[in-house]
Structure formats: structure tokens, C-alpha cells
Structure 1
């Protein structure tokens, strides 16, 4: 992955005007980088200045730091969170979410219906209910909702009539049915009744609709999924907040005369160096919400004999360095300076359908370097 990024950065800002060959290589590098992010083509930027749901922004900030690096790998269930807004724009208590952007290989772990509870209507009667019963149904037959097979109960509970705020209902099995067969997706129906199931007319509790209320309160379906991608076998962990690039170790004597860059690099021991990936320079800032870029880091330097503990060598690297130093076998080079710890990053972005997605990618940041 780091090799792909290095190639991309080398081609992103050519020193001379780009001939067609360099332009072609840059396009190929961008295509390879898209493959790292599990995409064939970059999603188009939203048609207008669209704001992501606050829930998704808050989730990103909980999971990742400002550079998108994962704070704790156990916070997120799976590696993808998808949000969908209601597409009905019609009846107040009927909702429809189009899930065509969910990949066939994605495993649905949890599905949640998020509804914003509005302030209750004023009651004219002497007695006022403190709770009401909210039920979520999967629509099976749109034209025959009241028939025995017209709808299927997914969730029900008592909801307070005090104040306003988000209510979340688990509807995992229904969404699994929809992703297996799109024709099963006839939408959702929400009913509000008295605590014992008695009718309330008009119901004192209302939820924000996609048609009449602010973007921040629109009904939303949130899916936590896993697409089966796994990183390398290197140790992975949350990214320590205080982890900074190590200070360069310079040779004790001042260098004199002309030396190649390669020679200078070989004089420095194996260590981690910055490697900036800027999504705006790449041309992806239109569809990536956060982060604007990140530091991938890369490993560079020599692994001279004898390898100290600060080189974080494996046993194999130690043996290889001895064989190389003593010339016990021809063609055996010294160990290489490579990442020995990798961290994941998170992207918050708009997909092809302008849904907001939070996706976690393994092995994207070199956390430390060692001689292997």
C-alpha cells in the first residue's frame, strides 16, 4: 500500500509539464489507490452543498482522530457504517430506504432505524399521557397493510412524551431480507398508540419526516456491516495520541565531500519518516468529508550489524545480519527496514447515491519500523 502511495505522490506534482506517458501513469496510480479503498471509480461530489448527518460526523470523531487514524479498533462493529435517508417524502409515518449501494459481500451486523422525536402536541384534556407505545412494522403488502399478511412487527416499546430527541430501533433481520432480495423492500410503517395498544387520535407523539423538517432531523437508516477485508498479519492497535515521528539520528562526525542521497540514507539507522497523503491534491476532496488527508509514514534507513534492540529486529533478521556480516553465504543481503506495526484509518465520504459512509481501512499507517 505504501509503495502505491509513494508512486502516487511522485506523480501528483511533476517537476516538468506532464507528457502523455506520465499522465497515463498518474491515472494508473490513482486507479491503484482507489483499489486500496475498495472502489473502481471515485464517487461524484454531491450535486449541491450537502451536509452529512450529524450522527455520522460524531461517530467518525469517536472512532478516529483528526487524521482519520483509528483511536481504538474495538469501538466499531465491523468495518463499515452506512447511512440512508428516507426516500418517501410523503406520508408522515411511512419510510423507505434504498439500499442498492450495499455490496453483495457485505455482512449486515446491525441495522438501526433512527427517528427524531418532536415535541409532543399540547393536550387539551385534564389528563395527559406520560408514555405511548411506538411500533415499527416491515411493510409486506403496500396496498393491504391491514390484512393479516400486510405487515410484520419488528420492534415495539414505550416512549416518553417528555421532551424531544432521537429514538433508535433495531431492525436487523428486515434489512438482511431486503439486501438478499430487493423486491422485499416495501418500506417501514410506524404506529403510535396508548401504553396498552389503545388508539390515540390524534397521536400526541410525532417524528420528524424527510419532507417537512430540517436535514439534521430526517429519518435515517444506519447499517453496521463488514465487507470481509482483512489486513496483514502485522500487529495492529489503536493509534497512540502522542506517537510522533522519531527524531532523526545523525552520524557523530560532520559529513564532508559529495555523497549521493542514497549514501546519506544508508548512514542513518532504520526509522520512520513522514509521508503525507493529501486528498485535495489527489482531487478527491469533493466526495471525502473527513479527513482532508493523513500521514501514512514510511520506513527508511540501514540495518547494520550488530542489530540492537532499538532496531526491533526479528530473530530471523538477526541471523540474516550475522550471515551477511561474516560473508558465510553468497547473495545474502542485510535485513530491510520495513513497518513492523500498522494502524488503520477511517474515511467519511459520500457514495455514488449521496449516502454518507464511514469505512475503516486496515494497514494504512506505519506505526513503527524495524529490521526484518
Structure 2
């Protein structure tokens, strides 16, 4: 069946009878969360969490891909391969500071990045800076130069001259544009995931090009009247996106037993032929809608029905299944072929993890496309 029984566990959680022991339900939930890469069930306070627009846009883009796509393409980094997980980080305001140079903006940003779980490998990371719209257009075209640097030694003072850093990425942007800015910070974040104690943060510098008048609509700090939980700031604050590949996300499939498969019967008592049946998994019924942001549910489908004594091409069988079926007719102790999924597709999920981080992940083999006798 699907992903070592992931869908069946979801269905079990939806329809467990009241007489079923709580221990069994808890064990099923723990097993399923582990398969999803979570150590425990997330219980976030949704009222305090703002989903970044960037993550919503990426989720919409992923759900429009082909059904057999199970990896997330890293923007601008296709040569690095792909990732199946994207996690967003917001700045730690208590450890981020606005420095005060005379002729440009300089901000120290800190993201609390920990070591990656053993099952995950680093792929890439980017810093996303939002921009607010300027209502009064300047007479001449204004450009600003944005640079991000990795701070390699502990800050001793809040000034640029005493900061030891290395440039990671830089871009020249038009001041009147309001599109977000993406900067590659992969070298720094990969180092942090290997040695979190060496994470001293990033230095973001914004300079007017050719000493033009200062025009800066890049959101690097809160406005004076904005509180710590201001919705506008929470939506527009700098975010970091970490791209990883979870090598455990691809899980081996298990076959359904011939006994359970051959029990599928029509209303008239005649066994139905192996085919795909409808099955909608509703995350609210499972009780997981508080941490799964999207989708609210999905069409998983399932395979059920009898495999006839004579297998033909439309039964989507393998040569091995045909031979096994012949041997079953000779020796009843040899099991008959089973009705199982022959083609599966992935789904994209946007959810909150144990640390209330917003995560976008593609899970492989979650929905049935085709069934057959195998």
C-alpha cells in the first residue's frame, strides 16, 4: 500500500471505533509522524504565526506541477539538484541590530539555525527581503546596491569597521520596484548547520548607487510605531529559506494481503475486479488541521478488488503475477496475486513543525493513480 501504510494510518485515525485502545491510536500517530519526519505532534499557537507570502506562493507553484513531481526546484540553483523540503526562519529580534553608518543602511540579522537531522542533507539557502511601495517616483532612475555578508567572528561592537565578514551575494536593484529580493546565503547557512556555535549572523548593507539621494524601501527593521507583533512587520520582515533533502521521505511500499484483497464484493455478493476506489483524507477529521496549513485534505484513493484466475492486459499485471497466478491454481498454498497500487503520485504540504517553523514539503507516493494485480 501507500508509503508503508501512511494513508491507511490516516484512515484508521478517522474511523477508529470507541472500543479501540488509546494506546493503539497513539502508537499509530507516532509511527505516522515519524514517517513524515516529525518527532512529535506539532501544537503551534496559530494566532501568533504569520505564513510568509513567499511560502504561500511557492506552495501554489508546487501544487500546479505534474503529479509525478516529488522534488522542489531551488530557485536559481538548478545545478545543485533539488530539495523536497523548504523551511522558513524569521529573525531573532533580540539578537538583530540596526547599525548606524552615515551614508548607508547596515543591519545585523540573526537566524536561529540548528544542526540538521541525520535524515536531511543541506541543499541551499536564500535570504528574502521584502520591499514596500514608494508612492512618489523620483525624477531620475534610482538604483541601490544590496550586499549580504557572513559574519565569521563574534561581534565586539555595533559598527562595520570592527566586524569581520565575507561577502556572500550582492544585487543592484531599482529603488522603485516592490518585488522581493532574493540573496544566496548557502555558504553561511551550511556552515551554521554543521557548527551552530559559529553562527554570528548576517550583515545586510544597502547603499545608494553613485551617491544618489537615499531611497530605501527594503524592509530591514520595524518602523518606530510598530510593536513586536505588528501584523505588517510580521508579514514583511526578512526571512530565510532553508532547502534540504530528506532521504527518508521515499518509503518502500507494502502489499496488501490476498485475504483482505479478495474480500471486496459488490452489493450482489460477487467479487469486484481490482480497481481504484475513492478515498478522501480530511486532516480536520484526523485532528491535524491545527498544524497542517494546506491542503485541508486530499484524494488518496485506494485499490481493492479480486484478481481473476485468468489475468489479461487490462489487469495491469506483471509476468511474475501471471506465473504466480498459474502456480496458485496448481497449489492453493501459493498466494494469488493481490490488488495493489501500480502508480503513485506525491502531494505538497504546507505545515508548522515542532518549533512553529513554516515548512513546505513534498511527500512521495501519497495518492494512487493506477491499480493492478501483482
Fold match by TM threshold 0.5: yes
Structure-2 residue corresponding to 1:109: 123
Q: Is the 8 A contact 1:288 1:348 kept in 2?
A: yes
C-alpha spacing 1:116/1:181, structure 2 compared with 1 (3 Å): same
Q: Is the 8 A contact 2:143 2:173 kept in 1?
A: yes
Within a 5 Å distance, the mapping from 1:258-337 to structure 2 comes to: 262-264=264-266, 267-325=271-329, 327=330, 329=331, 331-337=333-339
Within a 5 Å distance, the mapping from 1:142-291 to structure 2 comes to: 142-144=155-157, 146-147=160-161, 150-195=164-209, 203-209=214-220, 211-212=222-223, 213-231=232-250, 262-264=264-266, 267-291=271-295
Structure-1 residue corresponding to 2:92: 87
Structure-2 residue corresponding to 1:341: 343
Aligned residue for 1:28, secondary structure, equals: helix
- The question of 1:138 aligning with 2:150 is answered yes
C-alpha spacing 1:300/1:360, structure 2 compared with 1 (3 Å): same
State the shift of 1:71 in Å: 6.5
Cα RMSD (Å): 3.0
Aligned positions, number: 335
Structure-1 residue corresponding to 2:78: none
Q: Is the 8 A contact 1:87 1:210 kept in 2?
A: no
Structure 1 residues 77-128: Cα deviation after superposition (integer angstroms, max 9, x where no partner): 311011111222642722111123743542221211111133469799xx85
Please, which runs of 5 or more residues in structure 2 have no aligned partner?
A: 74-81, 99-105, 224-231, 254-261
Structure 1 residues 268-324: Cα deviation after superposition (integer angstroms, max 9, x where no partner): 111111223221111111111001112222111111121111110001001112222
Name the CA distance, whole Å, in 2 between partners of 1:262 and 1:228. Answer: 36
Aligned residue for 1:339, secondary structure, equals: strand
Within a 5 Å distance, the mapping from 1:10-25 to structure 2 comes to: 10=12, 12-15=14-17, 18-19=18-19, 22-25=21-24
C-alpha spacing 1:330/1:85, structure 2 compared with 1 (3 Å): same
Name the CA distance, whole Å, in 1 between partners of 2:281 and 2:137. Answer: 57
Aligned residue for 1:267, secondary structure, equals: coil
Q: Which TM-score applies when normalising by structure 1?
A: 0.80
Structure-1 residue corresponding to 2:47: 48
